[in-house]
A and B are shown apart, each in its own frame.
Chain A
Amino acid sequence: MNKILVVVAPLFGLVSTSCESVIYPDLPEAEAQLVIDAWVNNKEEPQWIRLSKTQPYFENTLPPPVSGALIRIEGSDGSEYIFSESDTLAGAYVWVPGAGERLGMNGVIYTLTVEAEGEIYTAVTRMGRVPVIDSITFRVERGNQFVDDLYLAEFWAVDPVGFGDTYWIRAYKNGVLLNKPSEIILAYDAGFSRGGRLDGVPFIAPIRRGVNPFEQDERGRFLSPYVPGDSVYVELHSLSEASFDFLTLVSLQTNRPGGFSELFATPLSNVTTNLVNINPNGKKALGFFNVAAVSGSGRKFNSLDDISNP
């Protein structure tokens, strides 16, 4: 819908009528809440969990860290991973794998336990599966009088047969993670949503091409996402269905391109959490726990000879 508006509105001269201004309305004060950012994966590298506090909405500072917590993850296969607070980064807790060790086995159910500020929180998730990335290609979309030629990266992978596999596609351009709200790319099987029932087929084109950062120059013209010399690295992270729903809500609440798309915005509301205080009357925490299987692949865009659709 939003993409349609971007094209339709200018033709009818409507864009020139709308305007936006940044404002800072007074917002009610609220008690700070514990936030547990626990997204770990099966890569052979240190795994981090961050504890912080909510802040007043307009407080543009780093979130206050929460130190002194005890954090562990236990797997249904009997595995246990103890996270300890970093000496240098307050509120950051790390588990460093030994040689050949990984956090995350396919189909295993993991339980996170966080003891912080006198409360005990738990969350449960199940690690899903990911397909391998078969290849990465580059394609050109020929420009017109409004847009220059654009060079796009595209990854190729096939969703395994069986309904309900969910993924978060995370892309890096020249080593920098594409992490804007507009760059949250999620897949339910090979399509966008549960209702789509696109199972066991290659990911649909908008997902395969979701790894491209779209930025504009100061005149408002779109820049080519990749130019010769750039590199792209794509990771598929498996999600639990609850994590998929969480990120869907995060995208809905944070990806606000503004303008006419606001006509079709849904109301602001809180995103979910899978963290539960074992004391039902205790303080509630925010955040999410997911254990991801990860597959990844990268490619450098050497020259225009790499274009697959010249």
Chain B
Amino acid sequence: MITGLSQPDRATLSGYVRDAADGEALIGATVFIPATGAGTVTNAYGFYSITLPKGFYEVRFSFVGYTDTRRNIDLNQNQRLDIELQPESKQLEEVVVAADEEGVEVRGIQMSVNRLNIGTIARMPAFLGEADIIKSIQQLPGVTTVGEGASGYNVRGGNVGQNLIVLDEAAVYNPSHLLGFFSVFNPDAVKDVQLYKGGIPARYGGRLASILDVRMKEGNSKEFEANGGVGTIFSRLAIEGPIVPDKSSFIFAARRSYIDVLARPFVDVLRDGARLNFYDLTGKVNYRINSRNNIFLSGYAGRDIFFFDSQQGFSWGNATGTLRWNSIINDRMFSNVSLIFSQYDYALQFGEDERDNFKWNSSITDFTVKPSLSYFINSNNEITAGLEAHYYRFEPANAVGTTNGQAVDVSIAEKYNLETAAFVSHQLRISPKLSAEYGLRYSMFQAFGPGVVYQYNDTVPGLRRQPVAATSFGRGEEMVRYTNPEPRISLQYQVNPQSSVKLSYMRAAQYLHLISNTAASNPLDVWTPSSPNLKPQLGDQWAVGYFRTLNRKSVYEFSAEVYYRRTYNQVDYIDGADLLINEYLEGDLLSGRGRAYGLELYLQKKTGRFTGWMAYTLARTELQVEGINNGAWYPTRFDQTHNFKATAFYQLNKRWSVSGNFTFLSGTPTTFPTSRYVVQGILIPHIADNSRNNVRIPAFHRFDLAFRLEGRTLRKNGKERKNTDYWIFGLYNLYARRNPFSIYFSQGDERAGSGAPIQSRATQLSIIGTVVPSISYNFHF
């Protein structure tokens, strides 16, 4: 059936592009035919396929950080060509880049995507010296947070729960360690991170704002290696190597906080059952069955455990597993089938004895099947199609309270949902200058019994709605069904070899809602599925961008993007909403709409002794919810008008390098009261016009610096050391600015007596109000 589409005068060149040193597949490597201008990039598994008229070609394979490789090909029949690129040697001479080099950002069709490789992340200055993927992407344009220490991030005005974070395709439902100070991804096990902020391809869905696609390393298929280190927070170890050389390899990486171990001799409670630690384990095995078939098995497990004594505390963690099978069906067809498991759970228990305690746990479990097929019709046409099905099981609360020996089960019934989607996407080059990718994702969400659906009364917007009727559903009965077509389209016009203009539109539907009404998201925030009372969130985004490569001695890439986003059925909360263990949660939720727009400028210098980028975002993010701010539009907690970030790396000499981060952010909105009054001896703040987010806290700016010292590469006898090591010395918030996280209003600490006025005050809080030094030691052998 495929042969009918193949043209006899054409032939296909296909294969994998890998790292020559460790055999890792290279994602997004460029395959370019200078003579014709045709080209492609490798997919997420390092595979490429390009179909050309038969003939002789010079083919160039390139990837940033690797030496270009050119091959002369006599393409008279379909040909498999696997290429290994050599990493650039670490030398001080500037890398000379060919004058005809064109950046992927300029020539590719995808816009609104930012990519960080793990080497870059590892070199960025980091809080307490711990390289962190989620903190790193906060240096990119269009990404904001509610403040330092907060978990998660906000993309183009979306809230934290509108980001899909996938680790080897498995959704990670809470990416935070220690309430958000660190993220769960071990940098030693990660290869590549891509953040899609707009124009999201049809193969991704389920969240409105962004996709953070984290790909794990496959493990060195050539030789054993170990990487590790001791930092301020974590001690880390990763081992990787071939199981069968060039056929099968593995990586296993572990991290654990170790302060509790150090503190144990000095802290009694740690010997009496208190536990305070967090850890994560990441592993992956791959096996090349033959030249056409690869399988990968990867998994993650991590947990935060905080117990004040042997009986009381809480813990949370994620577990994921992904089994993938890549198959090259023929030179032009590449398929992938993934079976994915992901679970997030938390557990709390309080009470010193069995007569009085409270035990509660909650979880979300996600089983996913995702087959997809890419068909490289010719160098101008590529079709990707696939299916995705998630089966979710939610346990909102399994909870038992025991009071004076009497146990009461206060659990909330489990919920069962199915989210399915079919997607197809066609990428084509309409003319040498104009390319397009258009696709459709059609998604469906169902809720199944057993379960109860409540009907709520109507009331004044902003007040709690009370249940007035209930409908019960039996096991397997469909309780609700939603369907949404999600069109996606991107256009790219190549103005000249150095510059292009891109346009995109996307619609996305989101069926799971992160229920959180606090400034920063916390581990107890529950994911809640859409239901008859809770409609799916919808979002539209339009973006236009200009992309340009500037060739000087080194490659500079510049982009400017403008986006506009509308969102519907946005979840908000009544004042005093009861979000935890509440059977009638939906009565405490409000629904609104959102709008966000902005300009993002990005200038990156990719090669040379001095590298780095600058990102500036001018943006506005607003919500309109009946019952909040008198029903008028108001800025979200993470709205930042100006957001400027600069990250730079400089190689001082053979052993020393330095990196710096600078951040300037407009103050985020907050609500100030106008007045005060006293009821029953308590001083209550009051906002006369009942507005929300009516002022802004002072601007935030911070400079971080890190020095990296490479260990000696030669032994004392002059021979080269096999092992390498390096130190990182960090200074976070170098000039010790007390950046405000929030300003809150309260009455004085003194007990109010009758007859004396109560004192009122405002307090400005800085989460990190001082310079934070750090040191870490890292080794490789």
Name A residues whose Cβ lies closer than 8 Å to a Cβ of B: 1, 4-5, 7-8, 11-14, 16-25, 27-33, 35, 37, 39, 52-63, 144-146, 156, 176-181, 184, 190-191, 193-199, 201-206, 245, 248-250, 252-254, 256, 258-260, 262-272, 286-288
Q: Identify which of residues 734-753 in chain B touch chain A, using a CB-to-CB cut-off of 8 Å.
A: 738, 741-747, 749, 751-752
Interface contact B263-A18, CB-CB below 8 Å: no
Interface contact A184-B519, CB-CB below 8 Å: no
The 25 listed contacts between A and B (C-beta, < 8 Å) are A1-B522, A18-B765, A20-B766, A22-B762, A23-B743, A23-B763, A30-B686, A33-B688, A56-B674, A60-B759, A62-B755, A176-B751, A179-B681, A202-B406, A250-B682, A258-B765, A262-B519, A263-B767, A264-B518, A265-B742, A267-B517, A267-B519, A268-B673, A270-B575, A270-B686
Question: Which stretch in B173-181, B442-450, B534-542, B558-566 binds the other chain?
Answer: B173-181
Contact of B757 among A60, A256, A263 (CB under 8 A): A60
Residues of A within 8 A of B747 (CB): 181, 254
- Tell whether A29 pairs with B674 under 8 Å between CB atoms, given A195-B584, A245-B576, A287-B679: yes
B306: interface (CB < 8 Å): yes
Contact of B519 among A63, A256, A263 (CB under 8 A): A263
Q: Fill in one digit per residue for B756-778: 1 if any A CB lies within 8 Å of its CB, else 0.
A: 11111111111111101000000
CB nearest to A173 among chain B residues: B751
Interface contact B180-A56, CB-CB below 8 Å: no
Interface contact B746-A254, CB-CB below 8 Å: yes
Contact of A57 among B267, B351, B406, B685 (CB under 8 A): B685
Min CB gap B690→A, angstroms: 6
B197: interface (CB < 8 Å): no
Q: Identify which of residues 681-716 in chain B touch chain A, using a CB-to-CB cut-off of 8 Å.
A: 681-690, 692-693, 695
Min CB gap B622→A, angstroms: 15
Name B residues whose Cβ lies closer than 8 Å to a Cβ of A: 147, 149-150, 178-181, 233, 257, 259-260, 263, 267-269, 272, 276, 306, 308, 313-314, 350-351, 356-358, 401, 403-404, 406, 408, 410, 464, 517-520, 522, 524, 573, 575-576, 578, 580-585, 637, 670-690, 692-693, 695, 738, 741-747, 749, 751-752, 755-770, 772
Residues of B within 8 A of A57 (CB): 673-676, 685-686, 745, 760
Interface contact A17-B575, CB-CB below 8 Å: no
Contact of B764 among A20, A54, A266, A288 (CB under 8 A): A20
Residues of A within 8 A of B763 (CB): 20-23, 256, 258
CB nearest to A143 among chain B residues: B268
Interface contact A181-B276, CB-CB below 8 Å: no
Residues of B within 8 A of A28 (CB): 672, 674, 688
Interface contact A12-B675, CB-CB below 8 Å: no
Interface contact B762-A24, CB-CB below 8 Å: yes
Q: Report the bound CA distance from A256 to B688 in whole Å.
A: 21
Interface contact A35-B679, CB-CB below 8 Å: yes
Min CB gap A248→B, angstroms: 5
- Tell whether A252 pairs with B576 under 8 Å between CB atoms, given A202-B404, A204-B356: yes
Interface contact B769-A14, CB-CB below 8 Å: no
Residue of A178, A202, A266 with most chain B CB atoms under a 10 A cut-off = A266
Contact of B682 among A22, A54, A63, A179 (CB under 8 A): A179
Residues of B within 8 A of A184 (CB): 682
Interface contact A266-B517, CB-CB below 8 Å: yes
Interface contact B759-A179, CB-CB below 8 Å: no
Interface contact A260-B677, CB-CB below 8 Å: no
Q: Report the bound CA distance from A176 to B637 in whole Å.
A: 40
Interface contact A27-B673, CB-CB below 8 Å: yes
